[in-house]
Amino acid sequence: IGEALLGKKKGDIVSLMIQGHDVSYRILKIH
């Protein structure tokens, strides 16, 4: 259970990083 939870947390962090990158990319594209 702990491993699955850790994996989910890692996945959340990765998705957050991807979202942040997408947002910054859009901002750069606008400018």
- Token pair of 21 as six digits: 């990158």
pLDDT tier for residue 1 given thresholds of 50, 70 and 90: low
Q: Which DSSP string do the residues of 1-31 spell out, in sequence order?
A: -HHHHHHHHHHHHHHHHHHHHHHHHHHHHH-
* 5-28 pLDDT, tens digit each: 777 888 888 888 888 888 888 888
pLDDT tier for residue 31 given thresholds of 50, 70 and 90: low
pLDDT for the residue numbered 12: 86
Q: From CA 9, how far away is CA 31, in angstroms rounded?
A: 33
Q: From CA 31, how far away is CA 27, in angstroms rounded?
A: 6
